[in-house]
Amino acid sequence: MARRTILFASNIDDPAPWKAFFARERPDIEFRIWPDMGNPQDITHALIWRIPNGVLASLKNLKAIFSLGAGIDQIIVDPEFPKDIPLFRLVDAGLREQMTEYALYGVLHWHRRMGDYARQQGAAEWRMHPAVHPSQRLVGVMGLGVFGTDIARKLASMGFRVSGWSRTRKIIHGVDSFVGEKEFRTFLGQSEILINVLPLTSDTRGILSSELFAHLPGGGALVHLGRGGHLVESDLVAALDEGQLDWAMLDVFPNEPLPRDSPLWAHPKAFVTPHVAAQPVSDAAERLMLENFNKFDRGEEPTGRVDLRVGY
């Protein structure tokens, strides 16, 4: 078997644990860390989160590209991205559980009016608000892939009235499935709490806009943990200011880190987190990646193959 050489590149992941893991589990693989990649012709596999445009295209012996996260838009945005090289995204590695936790927290925070109680605490105000049964709450999940399906299923099991919108029809117990553009407005109309876990594609870029917000029931909530490119920030701020949305919990943004002058930082109806809804759990991510490498070596299909025609 020809020698394998991995190029690791990330602006957020520490390469040391990854290098130590592969040295222990696959000593036959040479592990190089960007920008010290040596001879580009040696590189056979890329394990990346972000890398400068054009680098992947320069690796003439590249066999496969593995994303260090569930998202791939930060990789394929490269205008020279080699579309003939198979691309794989991290499908789980503890991400699913974390995404579901984040979404459930957002739903329950707004459903139980925790924001109101926090403000009342600051004013030393003792006042109870009427309880609302989960069966009276309409929750819509945009995107019914691995993450969205788990979120929808968990919410349905808690008694919420859950709908899901996706590219193809899904059968999930307790969840009403809506498909495509024709059913989108109907779906939005029964999404008092809207959760976004869509992939970023040419069709979904900028989808969280004034047009979408206008079709939601007034005074609801948004939990956004999809991709930053989904959000039109100025439209969201307007929807919050005008009361079309009562509250938004946001983990991803068009520009990250979120600029210090963004009105969302200080907005009383916004809850901002720094892209932490789901972070790969080190050991689980490394083991999943190793399994994918081993499958690729055996001529088997690794998990998480990306279909560039649809963008995920």
CB 72 within 8 A of CB 87: yes
3-state secondary structure of 208: strand
C-alpha torsion sign, points 285, 153, 141, 116:
negative
Please choose, from the candidates 239, 194, 251, 191, the residue with its C-alpha nearest in 3D space to the C-alpha of residue 214.
239
d(CA 160, CA 273): 25
Q: Which two tokens stand for residue 231?
A: 């959000």
Active site residue 173: no
Calpha distance 35→7 (Å, rounded): 9
Catalytic site residue from 96, 275, 298, 305: 275
Active-site annotation holder among 32, 45, 153, 227: 227
| Cβ 200 vs Cβ 230: under 8 Å | yes
Cis ω on the peptide bond leading into residue 257 (within 30° of 0)?
Answer: yes
Q: Is 112 a catalytic residue?
A: no
List, edge to edge, every strand of the sheet that includes 270-272: 175-179, 161-166, 138-142, 193-196, 220-224, 245-250, 270-272
Residue 54 CA to residue 192 CA, distance in Å, equals: 44
Distances 57 to 43, 79, 154, 182 between C-alpha atoms, Å = 12, 10, 42, 39
Phi, psi angle pair for 239, to nearest 5°: -65, -35
Task: Indicate which residues carry an active-site annotation.
Answer: 227, 275
